[in-house]
Amino acid sequence: MHMADALLSPAVGITMWGVTAGTIAYCSTKVKKDLDDRKIPLMGVLGAFIFAAQMINFTIPATGSSGHIGGGLLLAILLGPYAAFLTIASVLVIQALFFADGGILALGCNIFNLGIFPAFIAYPLIYKKIIGRQPSPTRLSIASIIGVVVALQLGAFSVVLETVASGISALPFTTFVALMQPIHLAIGLVEGLVTATVVSFVYTARPEILQSAVESRPLGNISVRNIVLAFLALALLTGGILSWYASKNPDGLEWSIAKVTGADEVTGTEQSLHHVLAAIQEKTAFLAHYAFPAKQGGEATTEIATTGKEGQDNSGQLGTSVSGGVGSLLTLTLAVLIGFFLRRETAGTRLKAEG
Amino acid sequence: MRSIDGAVLDLKRLDLLATGDSIIHRLDARAKVVTTLFFIVMVVSYKRYALAELTPFLFFPVITLALSNLPISYILKKIAAILPIAIFVGLFNPLFDREIHAVLGPISISGGWISLVSIMGRSALTVGSAIILIATTGFISICHALNRLGIPRVFTVQLLFLYRYIFVLTEEAARTTRARELRACGKKGLGFSSFGPLIGHLLIRTWARAERIHMAMVVRGFSGEFHSRQINRFGRNDYLYVIGWSLVFIILRSKDITAILGAACTGLFS
């Protein structure tokens, strides 16, 4: 459920980057305050462990497919929420950079979806409550399974929200929810079961690891009220930002989002650059004018149909799809040629330098 | 499912590429991180049906790729590897978005297909630029850059740890799974009952390893941060790179270069 950049709008991506960066800063100060410098190598090495463990699969009986461990809740159990959040975030950073598993702009969303819920919801509100003061293997198992399932359900739901708010995918909200939640219920059950066996195993083999994790944590007793308040504030903030953008432009959320984050900046710069670029603009305007009658009076082999609702949206690129197509081809050829040329040039200079 | 050894080799290969030398390699990591991020935001800021407008953005990855002496086929393969995922996520668009947007002779094209292709294009551009970033910069430099861009030190230090130990632990995981597969004789034994203890043991070994690492580091005077010998200065080339490309992206975003080019061309021939 790693989101890709391609389905994201800048507003959603940047908002979630902000939220995630804030949480990382907050968790970092918390971890630093812990004054347990043993923790930093432990976080890194456990992160690498999650990475390695996710590559080990097991066959799920009767389905033929394979599953692997989730990791979020396990890290929270071993490290506590703050350190766990940072570690999950780092695992996702590496997955995004090296395996293109989730995009760079989508990192904010992915860290939020896969980090916040296990560390700050499932761990303190479900896992801790179920195991109570006296952990037992049964309690540990039940707590792990329910914790993972809930975290994954919440994560999947926010994937839906972020995707729909971005408006690149055409999937309607209800269909998307109906697809995502059951799939992630199944995945959650499997991952929960795995987490439960690993936690029980560690509990029997090295109980002091879990014990120390439970005790050394004054952060274990985060109150429900604080978390609810924090989330309320977060929701209000996000909603506020998004709706402010939306209300400024009635053409739909998605359009205005793109406009505000990407294009507003652009038009602003364009305005200020206007005088400098006047000559170029004149020229481009002339070219555009020059081409329009040619297209309208064109050979009619290619006919453009722009339809009602999306009309304004499309007139930008589909209304000019002939010139768009030709232009794309030209640009592609040009790009490849430039690349080829530069490549030869750099190779040439290198040879000269070596020879 | 990708094999563990394959994944580790892949990681090492990307890591090795970053040790190369070229104009792009020599740039400050901050310049590359900021420019790549700006590029991605600009690409992603287009509307659902944007297609032709996206093509000029190809100049950025192509030019950096050409200047950086990276093996092109390898980078292309890495990009191609993620396209199935892009197709999968965009697959629903043709199903749900059937409004006809363009008619090309006898074929009418619905909005869903256009947006599907657009999603694929976006994926290729964003993923390509990210791969080029990591292959020309290297993870350690990126971590230092993130640090100097304001990301907390606790986070970047353990990110460096994690990166270092991925190589160690994935190799251990690979050995473990190889042993398990050899003893499994076909499929049985790869099941759930052996999985829990397997991962559990790996975890306990990892924990012990972390404790040893920590002790060794404390003995050597570790105080919570890494010191790097090389101090990168943000030089003239870095400013040129960031400002130059940002200007290009802004112009591309505000002017539909493709349409202008195409219009000029079609106008010429009619």
Q: Residue B140: which H helix or E strand, with range?
A: helix B139-148
Looking at the complex, report in whole angstroms how far the Cα of residue B228 sits from the nearest Cα belonging to chain A: 18
Within a domain: A87: yes
Average pLDDT over residues A112-141: 89
pLDDT digit string, tens, across residues B114-124: 888 888 888 89
- Whether A77 shows a pLDDT value over 60: the answer reads yes
Q: Residues 213-232, chain B: which have Cβ within 8 Å of A?
A: 213-214, 217-218, 222-224
Give the model's confidence band at A267: pLDDT under 50 very low, under 70 low, under 90 confident, else very high.
Answer: very low
Backbone angles phi, psi at A58, to 5 degrees: -130, 155
Q: Residues 16-75, chain B: which have Cβ within 8 Å of A?
A: 22-23, 36-37, 40-53, 55-56, 58-59, 62-63, 65-67, 69
Share of chain A above pLDDT 90, in %: 14
Give the model's confidence band at B36: pLDDT under 50 very low, under 70 low, under 90 confident, else very high.
Answer: very high
Would you call B183 an interface residue with chain A, using a CB distance cutoff of 8 Å? Answer: no
Q: Do B158 and A7 touch (CB under 8 A)?
A: no
Angle (CA) A37 A43 A45, round 5°: 115
How many domains in chain A?
2
User: Among A5, A200, A209, whose Cβ lies nearest the Cβ of B207?
Assistant: A209
Could you give the C-alpha distances from B209 to B1, B171, B198, in angstroms and in order?
28, 14, 17
Q: Do B112 and A170 touch (CB under 8 A)?
A: yes
- Whether A307 shows a pLDDT value over 50: the answer reads no
- Whether A274 shows a pLDDT value over 80: the answer reads no
pLDDT on residue A268: 36
Instruction: Report chain B's mean pLDDT, rounded to a whole number.
Output: 83
Average pLDDT over residues A56-63: 68
Q: Do B262 and A52 touch (CB under 8 A)?
A: no
pLDDT on residue A109: 93
pLDDT on residue A272: 38
pLDDT on residue A108: 92
Which residues in chain A touch residue B37, judged by CB atoms under 8 angstroms apart?
104-105
- Whether A190 shows a pLDDT value over 60: the answer reads yes
pLDDT on residue A296: 39
What pairs with residue A175 in β-bridges? Answer: none
Instruction: Report chain A's mean pLDDT, rounded to a whole number.
Output: 71
pLDDT on residue A142: 92
- Whether B162 shows a pLDDT value over 60: the answer reads yes
Residue of A nearest to B135 (CA): A98
Which residues in chain B touch residue A309, judged by CB atoms under 8 angstroms apart?
99
User: Among B67, B201, B206, whose Cβ lies nearest the Cβ of A346?
Assistant: B67
User: Among B93, B100, B131, whose Cβ lies nearest the Cβ of A169?
Assistant: B93
Least confident of A191-195, A287-291, A342-346, B105-109: A287-291
User: Among A5, A254, A323, whose Cβ lies nearest the Cβ of B122?
Assistant: A5
Q: CA-CA distance, B166 to B8, in Å (whole number)?
A: 9
Which residues in chain B touch residue A170, judged by CB atoms under 8 angstroms apart?
48, 92-93, 95-97, 111-112, 115
- Whether A355 shows a pLDDT value over 70: the answer reads no
pLDDT on residue B242: 92
pLDDT digit string, tens, across residues B50-91: 888 888 898 999 999 989 888 989 889 888 888 887 787 777
Which residues in chain A touch residue B53, judged by CB atoms under 8 angstroms apart?
316-317, 324
Give the model's confidence band at B261: pLDDT under 50 very low, under 70 low, under 90 confident, else very high.
Answer: confident
- Whether B175 shows a pLDDT value over 50: the answer reads yes
Looking at the complex, report in whole angstroms how far the Cα of residue B220 sits from the nearest Cα belonging to chain A: 14
Least confident of A84-98, A216-230, B187-201: A216-230
Higher pLDDT, A254 or A48: A48
pLDDT on residue A301: 38
Residue of B nearest to A315 (CA): B101
Which residues in chain A touch residue B152, judged by CB atoms under 8 angstroms apart?
24-25, 28-29, 32
Range of the domain at A335: 324-355
pLDDT on residue A180: 84
Which residues in chain B touch residue A31, judged by CB atoms under 8 angstroms apart?
154
- Domain boundary among the residues A256, A271, A304 is at A256
Share of chain B above pLDDT 90, in %: 14
Higher pLDDT, A26 or A229: A26
User: Among B127, B165, B266, whose Cβ lies nearest the Cβ of A45?
Assistant: B165
Same domain, residue pair A220 and A341: no
Which residues in chain B touch residue A8, judged by CB atoms under 8 angstroms apart?
44
pLDDT digit string, tens, across residues A199-254: 888 888 888 777 666 555 544 444 556 666 666 666 666 555 554 444 333 333 33
**0.80 surpassed by pTM:** no
Which residues in chain B touch residue A37, judged by CB atoms under 8 angstroms apart?
214, 218, 222-224
Same domain, residue pair A239 and A133: yes
pLDDT on residue A176: 85
Which residues in chain B touch residue A45, judged by CB atoms under 8 angstroms apart?
161-162, 165, 169, 206, 209-210, 213
A66 touches A55 (CB < 8 A): no
Would you call B87 an interface residue with chain A, using a CB distance cutoff of 8 Å? Answer: no
Q: Do B200 and A104 touch (CB under 8 A)?
A: no
Would you call B246 an interface residue with chain A, using a CB distance cutoff of 8 Å? Answer: no
A182 touches A153 (CB < 8 A): no
Q: Examine the predicted complex and report whether its ipTM is higher than 0.85.
A: no
Would you call B239 an interface residue with chain A, using a CB distance cutoff of 8 Å? Answer: no
pLDDT on residue A235: 62
pLDDT on residue A286: 39
Q: Residues 133-162, chain B: which have Cβ within 8 Å of A?
A: 133-134, 139, 142, 151-155, 157-162
- Whether A287 shows a pLDDT value over 50: the answer reads no
Which residues in chain A touch residue B133, judged by CB atoms under 8 angstroms apart?
97
pLDDT on residue A170: 79
- Whether A136 shows a pLDDT value over 70: the answer reads yes
- Domain boundary among the residues A256, A281, A298 is at A256
Average pLDDT over residues B231-248: 87
Residue of A nearest to B257 (CA): A327
Within a domain: A267: no
Q: Where are the domains of chain B?
A: 4-149+234-259, 153-219
